Amino acid sequence: MRIGFISTRLNGSDGVSLEVGKWVTVLRRMGHECFFCAGELGGYAAGGALIPKLHFQHQSIIALSQRAFGPRRETEPAKLIEHIYAVADDIRPPLRAFIRKNKLDMIIVENALAIPMNLPLGVCLTGLIAELGIPTIAHDHDFYWERERYQTNAILDLLDTAFPPDLPAIHHVTINSIAQRRLKSRRNIDSTVIPNVMDYDTPPPGVDDYNQDFRTTLGMGPDDLLALQPTRVIQRKGIEMAIELMQRLNMPQAHLFITHSATDEGLDYWHWLQREARLMRVDMQLIDYLVETQRRMENGHKIYSLWDAYIHADLITYPSLYEGFGNALLEAIYFKKLTVVNRYPVYNADIRPLGFEFVELDGYVDDAAVNQVTALLADSDEIHRRSEKNYELARTHFSFQTLESKLNDVLTSF
């Protein structure tokens, strides 16, 4: 089949873009052709159809979101909805052209019909799918009712119509069992759970000529502890718990490095974290300028891949308060690293019961976690045992083979 992916952004190291790359790999392995359309394109999606207004950071989209959500929301909802539909009319022709030009048999909408980061795109796609009747997989990573920022709004009827829509042509895919149950209870929409995955049948890379100087580039000595927070800097990542853990480990040569951007939801949280780290005398650094999805050279300087950062990490911190699933957790398992995880709801529901062994937090850093991390850092054999067990469990439940089987079931359902 000829399958088109549509999203706000198909580029970079956000969870949606990364997961789409895995779907593309598996779908191509199954013999399908893949095409791409978004407001930002790169990597596997480079050369696709670029429609700037699909991006959630397009100025016109930001303006509509500010009018729709939060304390300064629009006092005349009818006027706001009129403007949303006007922008939706602007993007409908190029979206229709993308579908027709590439003679698509199916589209996969990546989160744009679930979370209202781009209101006109969701409205436009809902109408276009109804009009064309094109078979559609709605890959729903996050719903608006799961995010605090969307709870206060002026357009509830629109949200309950298009985010997500209930259409005969759409097969909804959720990424965890909690989302599946809530979608059914709130909207009476059935969905298939397809968890996030990793290619566990391909061994992880190691130290090579390119990345061997990664720790030196960060200014670290051979005996320093490299703790990696492989996430964006947003409040639900709970990074303050990583800072407290580092402080309580009481290791003068310990460093906490955050790999992803601090700008996605404003800088207030980042500035607060910086103050907390200074007060606790924790060396915390943002290294998004140095780490991207792919290696490259820029003005004679190395840009490392996210994989390079994992390879050199001694400890992974993942104290998230909420995750749709947990890409970084699967990555930490892949690289067989000592990992500290907060028991966020999806972890408790879909991951923990499978028997994984991590150092666990329950919303705060307690003595037991600190003592456990301290003991494990001095016991490489126990880290190895846990890591191998976790790897085999992940290969059983979250592999590319799992994804292929589940995708085949969804595709044959149409």
Q: What is the 3-state secondary structure (H, E, C) of 4-65?
A: EEECCCECCCCHHHHHHHHHHHHHHHCCCEEEEEECCECHHHCCCEECHHHCCCCHHHHHHH
Q: Between β-strands 283-286 and 254-258, what pairing exists: parallel, antiparallel or unpaired? A: parallel
Q: Give the model's pLDDT for residue 14.
A: 80
Query: What are the CA-CA distances from residue 115 to residues 110, 132, 145, 391 (Å)?
Result: 10, 23, 9, 32
Helices (H), ranges, 145-213:
156-162, 177-187
What SS3 state is found at 341? strand
Q: Give the model's pLDDT for residue 263.
A: 84
Q: Give the model's pLDDT for residue 222.
A: 86
Residue 142 has φ and ψ, to the nearest 5°, of: -145, 140
How many CB atoms within 10 Å of residue 240? Answer: 18
Among candidate residues 34, 33, 51, 39, the one with its CA nearest the CA of residue 10: 39
Token pair, residue 271, equals 């500035």
The C-alpha atoms of residue 164 and residue 26 are separated, in whole angstroms, by 25
How many CB atoms within 10 Å of residue 332? Answer: 27
The C-alpha atoms of residue 211 and residue 217 are separated, in whole angstroms, by 10
Q: What is the CA radius of gyration of the chain?
A: 22
Q: Give the model's pLDDT for residue 148.
A: 85
Over its length of 414 residues, how does the chain's per-residue pLDDT go in tens digits?
999 999 999 997 788 998 999 999 999 999 999 999 999 999 999 999 999 999 999 999 999 999 999 777 878 889 999 999 999 999 999 999 999 999 999 999 999 999 999 999 999 999 999 999 999 999 999 999 988 889 889 899 999 999 999 999 999 999 999 999 999 999 999 999 999 999 999 999 999 999 999 999 999 998 999 999 999 999 999 999 999 999 999 998 999 999 998 887 778 999 999 999 999 999 999 999 999 988 999 999 999 999 999 999 999 999 999 998 999 999 999 999 999 999 999 999 999 999 999 999 999 999 999 999 999 999 999 999 999 999 999 999 999 999 999 999 999 999
The domain made up of 214-397 has a fold known as: Rossmann fold (3.40.50)
Among candidate residues 107, 151, 86, the one with its CA nearest the CA of residue 6: 107
Q: Are 56 and 114 in contact (CB under 8 A)?
A: no
What SS3 state is found at 238? coil
Q: Give the model's pLDDT for residue 15.
A: 81
**Phi and psi based region of residue 90 (left: phi greater than 0; alpha: psi -120 to 50; beta: remaining):** alpha
Token pair, residue 344, equals 């966020």
Angle at the Cα of 131 from the Cα atoms of 126 and 133, rounded to 5 degrees:
90
Which part of the chain has CATH 3.40.50.2000?
2-197+400-412, 214-397
Query: What are the CA-CA distances from residue 45 to residues 18, 42, 136, 193, 264 (Å)?
Result: 11, 5, 19, 25, 21
Looking at residue 204, the DSSP 8-state letter turns out to be P
What separation, in Å, do the N-terminal and C-terminal C-alpha atoms of the chain show? 12
Q: Between β-strands 301-305 and 296-298, what pairing exists: parallel, antiparallel or unpaired? A: antiparallel
- CATH class for domain 2-197+400-412? alpha beta
The C-alpha atoms of residue 195 and residue 193 are separated, in whole angstroms, by 6
Among candidate residues 89, 111, 124, the one with its CA nearest the CA of residue 164: 111
